[in-house]
Chains A and B, each alone.
Chain A
Amino acid sequence: MAEKSAPFRWTRKHLLGLDSLSAEEIVFVLDTAESFKEVSTRSVKKVPALRGRVVVNAFFEDSTRTRTSFSLAASRLSADVIDFSEKGSSVSKGETLIDTARNIEAMGIDILVLRHQAAGSAEVLSRAVQCSVVNAGDGAHEHPTQGLLDLYTIRERFGKIAGLKVAIVGDIVNSRVARSNLFALKKLGAEVYLVGPPTLLPRAFESLGAHCVHDFDSIVGEMDVINMLRVQFERIQSSQFPSVREFTHLFGLTTERFARCRPDVFVMHPGPMNRGIEISSGIADGPNSGILTQVTNGLAVRMAVLFLVAQGNA
């Protein structure tokens, strides 16, 4: 009660992407998440911080992890959670995204969590509504909570982020996970290597401060962290994509390639995994894997994000 104000002030009412956050803001979210992780270890896994607030999960794309994680995060904060999906809604009758959102908002909601196939949709929506908007993935643009939980997991493992060499491997150009990771990792001082075939990794990424690498084997032995992206089968037919076997051979984290990695390499994957294609099963389940830890940490990170945007909107 007699405590002085902390020097840092969180003022954001939305979380739209990591590109627009400062390093200080990112670290603040990670620190806040650390405190929320403790809540999940209690016998009563719930705190009253968002009691009486309403969180709507509006997912216009399929999702298991992210949607469940946001729902659970909101209920652990004692918020009321409403799941909205495109199927069976008036969206299938042709209602626009903004009209849908405004109608949901008119019922009195505080936070809208949006997953949508259009890049920039969260940002557009944030200008049209009064409530907080949290981007849960907008097209190939950003997936900020995935980026934050990846950073959290890396920081938890290594105790730092600055100076680490992090490879992000696979279909970079279509990946919002790669973008959010790249923005945040660069801000916190990591060295980022984007790895993939030239068709899926345009040189333009170099202007964002990443090393673009088409020969995975040339860097695999130096990496502290290897983040394997999902092979997106919905795009695999396109001419951008080599055959599955060729992809696994050149860019998969196979047992042979893994043998050339540092012994303490940290292996990550945002899920859902294609076992045997981008990552071998034994590695995904092995001692170097942080894949399930990522999911656990995702809950704490999303609790922190919902809590902070709600305060930012107060």
Chain B
Amino acid sequence: MRTVYDESDVRRTVASLVDRIAAAFSPDKPLNIVGILTRGEILAQRIATELASRGFKNIGRGVLDITLYRDDLTEIGPRPLVRPTNLRIDIDARPLLLVDDVLFTGRSVRAALDALSDFGRPAAIRLAVLVDRGGRELPIQADFIGLTLSDVPADHRVNVHFAESDQSDEILVEPRNG
């Protein structure tokens, strides 16, 4: 099993992710891009910037903190850091691209869908993730996937690092608590 993906791997993965997103939406129509804090938001910002440079003129941006919507608050322990959600965009009746870094159990995405429904009713919600590592506990799948890792053991974490928050771009597969 490969455990390290470096900066150029991440760059290629993001680029191919953006290619597929760009092909699926119309550059002239409104598209809201909402990132799940923290690293989903960094990826969302990169996708939005790249789409804008490819001629997408009507991109709305939002940030979602899902802490208050989690069903596993007691399991993540005494770490309830709640950060501000910022969705000052009109999300009704237009497509919304939800972005996260890693798709694992699907519980974060479930929480994000619940949160979004408190803000409005998008025409459609699509999900883009940098890494799909399997291990779903809910019937949730991504529409756009940068990298599929199918053989990550359950006791390992997939950690995505971005230059904006962690100095460099990389994807690491590491033992939990390691």
Contacts and interface: CB of A to CB of B under 8 A. Distances in A.
Contact of A2 (B67, B81, B86, B101): B101
Contact of A1 (B77, B79, B101): B101
A48 B81 contact: no
8 contacts: A1-B105, A3-B38, A3-B39, A38-B85, A49-B69, A311-B74, A312-B78, A314-B77
Given A1-B108, A42-B118, A47 B69 contact: yes
Interface residues of B, number: 34
Contacts of A42: 118-119
B68 interface: yes
A34 B84 contact: yes
Interface stretch (B1-9, B12-20, B23-31, B155-163): B155-163
| Interface pairs A-B: 10 shortest CB-CB | A47-B68, A49-B68, A44-B118, A314-B74, A35-B82, A311-B80, A2-B102, A2-B159, A35-B84, A6-B81
A308 interface: yes
Interface in B32-83: 38-39, 65, 67-69, 73-74, 77-83
Interface in B70-126: 73-74, 77-86, 100-105, 108, 114-115, 118-120
A11 B65 CA distance: 21
Nearest to A33: B82
B73 A311 contact: yes
B82 A36 contact: yes
Contact of B68 (A2, A37, A48): A48
Nearest to A36: B82
A87 interface: no
Contacts of B74: 311, 314
A10 interface: yes
Which of A6, A308, A314 has most B Cβ within 10 Å? A314
Interface residues of A, number: 31
A237 interface: no
A43 interface: yes
B78 A2 contact: no
Nearest to A49: B68
A5 interface: yes
Contacts of A1: 100-105, 108
Contacts of A249: none
Contacts of A46: 118
A77 B85 CA distance: 15
Contacts of B119: 42-44
Contacts of B86: 38
B100 A311 contact: no
Nearest to B102: A2
Nearest to B75: A314
A39 B83 CA distance: 11
B57 to A, nearest CB: 27
A307 interface: yes
A49 B83 CA distance: 14
Contacts of A5: 79
Contacts of B38: 3
Given A1-B100, A43-B118, A44-B119, 8 more contacts: A1-B102, A3-B38, A6-B81, A34-B84, A43-B119, A47-B118, A307-B80, A314-B77
A2 B157 contact: yes
A32 interface: yes
B114 to A, nearest CB: 7
Given A9-B78, A308-B80, A35 B65 contact: yes
A34 B120 CA distance: 22
A77 B82 CA distance: 13
Nearest to A10: B78
Interface string A1-28: 1111110111100000000000000000
Nearest to A304: B82
